[in-house]
Amino acid sequence: MRQIDLSGKTAIVTGSSQGIGLETAKTLHAAGANLVINYFDDGEGKNRALADAAVADFGDRGLACAADVRQPDQLEAMVSKAVEKFGSLDILVNNAGILRDKSFRKMSHEDWQAVIDTNLTGVFNSCKAAVESLSENGVIVNVSSLSAVTGFFGQANYATAKAGVMTFTKVLSKELARKNIRVNAVAPGVVNTEMGESIPEENRKYMMTQIPLARFAEPSEISDVILFLCSDLSSYVTGQTIHVNGGWWA
Ligand SMILES: NC(=O)c1ccc[n+]([C@@H]2O[C@H](COP(=O)([O-])OP(=O)(O)OC[C@H]3O[C@@H](n4cnc5c(N)ncnc54)[C@H](O)[C@@H]3O)[C@@H](O)[C@H]2O)c1
């Protein structure tokens, strides 16, 4: 049976000090990759401490690196550090994201812009910073959301950004195919992370009734699909969004 082996490959996972990003970093590391844990420096040291703890477990195959995905220069510096330490860049997982849920009438321009800047422009920024350094046969995986196709109430900003990520994924897959770089996305439903748990209890109860598998996802159920997309087992898959949502299409 073919096994996934990412030995000698280097991956950057944005926003990976916690949640789906951290689980993805651990999963790719366990498959042999060198890992750059990108964290957002929140000024309180929380994300840095989480990133440092993860990297301590990764030994020589880990590097913690602060960068705000809204800041192209910080992302360029991170890519340079990754290549300097590990010699190549082969995998980019664009995972960083935020929520600022409000109904449209209550949503401020700032709520709109913050989510577009982080969840959509942030993906553009990190691809831009990485593209010239990504090796031939490199891989990009973007984290979208079920909300991109359902348009959940209160998520005009988030759903729009995540739909943009899906379309961006298709365009980039065509443009980077000549370098044999594959570009795909995963679109989770609700996942048991800080973000998933921030959804009001009443909404979570209703959502649960819509999910055929009748539960939310564990982060590892998303990171396993990302691992597949980062591996040669998906060598003919590009431009796709893989929906990981327990069968939920409401
Ligand atoms: N949890 C869910 O239910 C769910 C569902 C669908 C999609 N997603 C998506 O999955 C991804 C991960 O979400 P999660 O559930 O792990 O949430 P989370 O809130 O636990 O993690 C988000 C991470 O992004 C980081 N981040 C935020 N702004 C950043 C910035 N400007 N620069 C760098 N990093 C930044 C945070 O510090 C954090 O580490 C997000 O893109 C999210 O939209 C989550």
Task: With respect to residue 249, please indicate whether it lies within any of the assigned structural domains.
Answer: no
Which CATH number covers residue 27?
3.40.50.720
* pLDDT number for residue 249: 84
Radius of gyration of the chain (CA): 17
* pLDDT number for residue 69: 98
Residue nearest to atom 38 of ligand 1 (CA): 15
Please give the Cα distance from 158 to 46 (Å, whole number).
25
Task: With respect to residue 183, please indicate whether it lies within any of the assigned structural domains.
Answer: yes
Ligand 1 pocket mutation pick from 16, 20, 124 by most atoms within 8 angstroms of CB? 20
Residue type, 72: P
Task: With respect to residue 250, please indicate whether it lies within any of the assigned structural domains.
Answer: no
* pLDDT number for residue 2: 85
Q: Is 158 a catalytic residue?
A: yes
Mean pLDDT (10-residue bins), the chain, 250 residues = 94 98 98 98 94 96 98 98 98 98 98 98 98 97 98 97 98 97 98 95 94 97 98 98 93
Instruction: Give every CB contact of residue 111 below 8 A, 6+ residues apart in sequence.
Output: 100, 102, 157
CA of residue 247 to ligand 1 center, whole Å = 22
Collapsing DSSP to helix, strand or coil, 243 comes out as strand
Task: With respect to residue 117, please indicate whether it lies within any of the assigned structural domains.
Answer: yes
CB 230 within 8 A of CB 142: no
* pLDDT number for residue 250: 63
Please give the Cα distance from 123 to 84 (Å, whole number).
22
For the CA of 68, the closest atom of ligand 1 is 32
Task: With respect to residue 3, please indicate whether it lies within any of the assigned structural domains.
Answer: no
Q: Domain count for the chain, please give it.
A: 1
Q: Which of 60, 62, 73, 70 is nearest to 17 (CA)?
A: 62
Q: What are phi and psi of 145, to 5 degrees?
A: -165, 155
For the CA of 23, the closest atom of ligand 1 is 16
CA of residue 78 to ligand 1 center, whole Å = 19
Please give the Cα distance from 99 to 121 (Å, whole number).
15
CB 15 within 8 A of CB 38: yes
Please give the Cα distance from 77 to 209 (Å, whole number).
45
Task: With respect to residue 44, please indicate whether it lies within any of the assigned structural domains.
Answer: yes
Task: With respect to residue 199, please indicate whether it lies within any of the assigned structural domains.
Answer: yes
Task: With respect to residue 5, please indicate whether it lies within any of the assigned structural domains.
Answer: no
Q: Which of 198, 249, 215 is nearest to 19 (CA)?
A: 198
Domain that holds residue 216: 10-244
